[in-house]
Structure 1
Amino acid sequence: MIATWRRRMAARRARKLELRRGDEAFEEVELTLPSEFKCPISLDLMKDPVTLLSGITYDRESIEMWIEAGNRTCPITNRAFGSLEPVPNHMIRRMIQEWCVENRSHGIERIPTPRIPVSSMEVVEMLDKISEASKIKDQSVCRKLVVKMKALSKESERNKKCFKSNGTGSVLAAAFEAFSETSSQDEENDDISKEILSALTLMLPLSVEAKSCLGSPSSLHCMVGYLTNRDLSSGWNSALVLRAIVSSDKRKVEALAEIEGALESLFKVVKEPICPAATRSSLIVIYHMVTSSHPAKDMIISRFVQMGLVSLLVETLVDADRSMSEKALGVLDGICDNEEGKEAVRDNSLAVPVLVKKLLRVSDLATEFSVSVLWKLMAIGESGEDGGGVLAEALQVGAFQKLLLLLQVGCGERTKEKATQAVKLLNLHRERLECIDSLDFKDLKRPF
Structure 2
Amino acid sequence: MIFSLRRLGAGRRAGKKMGDSGIDAACLDTEVAVPMPFRCPISLDLMKDPVTLPTGITYDRGSIERWIEAGNASCPVTKQPLGVGGGLYLIPNHALRKMIQSWCVENRSLGVERIPTPRIPVSPYEVSEACKRVAAAANRGDARRCGELVGKIKSWVKESERNKRCVTEGGAGDALSAALETFGSASAEGQHGGLLEEIVSALAHVRPASEEGLARLGSATSLHCILGFLNSDDLSSRQNAVLVLKEAISSDRIWHRALVDGIEEAMVRMIREPIGPTATNASLLTLFNMISQSPNSDKTTSKLLQLGLVPLLIDLLLDSSDKGVCERVLGVLDLLCESREGREEAFGHALTMPILVKKILRVSNLATDFAVAILWKLCKNEEGDDRRALIEAIQAGGFQKMLVLLQVGCGDGTKVNVRELLKLMHLHKDRVDCVDSSLDLKYLKRP
Letter in 2 for 1:444: D
Going from structure 1 to structure 2, the CA distance change for 1:345 and 1:254 (only over 3 Å counts) comes to farther
Q: For residues 16-53 of structure 1, give each alpha carbon's deviation from its aligned partner in whole angstroms, at most 9, with x where no partner exists.
A: xxxxxxx99xx97xx54433222222222222111122
How far apart, in 1, do the equivalents of 2:42 and 2:268 lie? 53
Q: For residues 203-247 of structure 1, give each alpha carbon's deviation from its aligned partner in whole angstroms, at most 9, with x where no partner exists.
A: 247443422220112111221222123442222111111212323
Q: For residues 100-127 of structure 1, give each alpha carbon's deviation from its aligned partner in whole angstroms, at most 9, with x where no partner exists.
A: 3333344333322222222222222222
Letter in 2 for 1:181: S
Q: For residues 260-295 of structure 1, give each alpha carbon's deviation from its aligned partner in whole angstroms, at most 9, with x where no partner exists.
A: 11111111111122333222211111112222361x
Going from structure 1 to structure 2, the CA distance change for 1:278 and 1:112 (only over 3 Å counts) comes to closer
Query: Is 2:335 the counterpart of 1:331?
Result: no
Going from structure 1 to structure 2, the CA distance change for 1:170 and 1:201 (only over 3 Å counts) comes to same
Report the counterpart of residue 436 of structure 1 in structure 2.
434
Going from structure 1 to structure 2, the CA distance change for 1:56 and 1:312 (only over 3 Å counts) comes to same
Report the counterpart of residue 18 of structure 1 in structure 2.
none
Going from structure 1 to structure 2, the CA distance change for 1:215 and 1:186 (only over 3 Å counts) comes to same
How far apart, in 2, do the equivalents of 1:425 and 1:105 lie? 77
How far apart, in 2, do the equivalents of 1:313 and 1:411 lie? 25
Indicate conservation of the 8 Å contact 2:231/2:266, yes or no: yes
Report the counterpart of residue 252 of structure 1 in structure 2.
254
Specify the SS of the correspondent of 1:58: strand
Letter in 1 for 2:254: K
- Where does the alignment leave 5 or more consecutive residues of structure 2 unmatched? 1-25, 443-447
How far apart, in 2, do the equivalents of 1:317 and 1:364 lie? 16
Shift of 1:332: 1.0
Indicate conservation of the 8 Å contact 2:356/2:371, yes or no: yes
Report the counterpart of residue 179 of structure 1 in structure 2.
183
Indicate conservation of the 8 Å contact 2:74/2:81, yes or no: yes
Specify the SS of the correspondent of 1:229: coil
Letter in 1 for 2:440: L
Report the counterpart of residue 8 of structure 1 in structure 2.
none
Specify the SS of the correspondent of 2:231: helix
Indicate conservation of the 8 Å contact 2:171/2:208, yes or no: no
How far apart, in 2, do the equivalents of 1:265 and 1:253 lie? 19
Report the counterpart of residue 17 of structure 1 in structure 2.
none
**1:9-408 equivalences in 2 (<5 Å):** 32-82=33-83, 83-188=87-192, 190-204=193-207, 206-247=209-250, 249-253=251-255, 255=257, 258-292=259-293, 294=295, 296-321=296-321, 322-381=323-382, 384-385=384-385, 388-408=387-407
Indicate conservation of the 8 Å contact 1:253/1:288, yes or no: no
How far apart, in 2, do the equivalents of 1:389 and 1:34 lie? 77
Going from structure 1 to structure 2, the CA distance change for 1:184 and 1:424 (only over 3 Å counts) comes to same
Indicate conservation of the 8 Å contact 1:333/1:373, yes or no: yes
Shift of 1:419: 0.9
Going from structure 1 to structure 2, the CA distance change for 1:117 and 1:337 (only over 3 Å counts) comes to same
Specify the SS of the correspondent of 1:233: helix
Letter in 2 for 1:279: T
Going from structure 1 to structure 2, the CA distance change for 1:430 and 1:254 (only over 3 Å counts) comes to farther
Report the counterpart of residue 12 of structure 1 in structure 2.
none
Specify the SS of the correspondent of 1:291: helix
Indicate conservation of the 8 Å contact 1:85/1:119, yes or no: no
Going from structure 1 to structure 2, the CA distance change for 1:110 and 1:273 (only over 3 Å counts) comes to closer
Specify the SS of the correspondent of 2:198: helix
Specify the SS of the correspondent of 2:51: strand
Going from structure 1 to structure 2, the CA distance change for 1:445 and 1:299 (only over 3 Å counts) comes to closer
Going from structure 1 to structure 2, the CA distance change for 1:35 and 1:391 (only over 3 Å counts) comes to closer
Going from structure 1 to structure 2, the CA distance change for 1:105 and 1:343 (only over 3 Å counts) comes to closer
Letter in 2 for 1:411: C
How far apart, in 1, do the equivalents of 2:234 and 2:66 lie? 39
Shift of 1:443: 3.8
Specify the SS of the correspondent of 1:441: coil
Indicate conservation of the 8 Å contact 1:253/1:289, yes or no: no
How far apart, in 2, do the equivalents of 1:90 and 1:158 lie? 20
Q: For residues 361-403 of structure 1, give each alpha carbon's deviation from its aligned partner in whole angstroms, at most 9, with x where no partner exists.
A: 2211111111101101111136x236x1111221222211111
Shift of 1:144: 0.9
- Where does the alignment leave 5 or more consecutive residues of structure 1 unmatched? 1-22
Indicate conservation of the 8 Å contact 2:220/2:259, yes or no: no
Report the counterpart of residue 18 of structure 2 in structure 1.
none
* Stretch moving more, 260-269 or 207-216: 207-216
Letter in 2 for 1:394: A
Going from structure 1 to structure 2, the CA distance change for 1:66 and 1:365 (only over 3 Å counts) comes to same
Shift of 1:428: 1.7
Indicate conservation of the 8 Å contact 1:171/1:210, yes or no: yes
How far apart, in 2, do the equivalents of 1:33 and 1:347 lie? 69
How far apart, in 1, do the equivalents of 2:111 and 2:292 lie? 62
**What is the aligned-residue RMSD (CA, Å)?**
2.3
Shift of 1:436: 1.6
TM (normalized to structure 1)? 0.85
Specify the SS of the correspondent of 2:293: coil
How far apart, in 1, do the equivalents of 2:344 and 2:45 lie? 66
Indicate conservation of the 8 Å contact 2:208/2:214, yes or no: no
How far apart, in 1, do the equivalents of 2:345 and 2:100 lie? 70
Going from structure 1 to structure 2, the CA distance change for 1:389 and 1:71 (only over 3 Å counts) comes to same
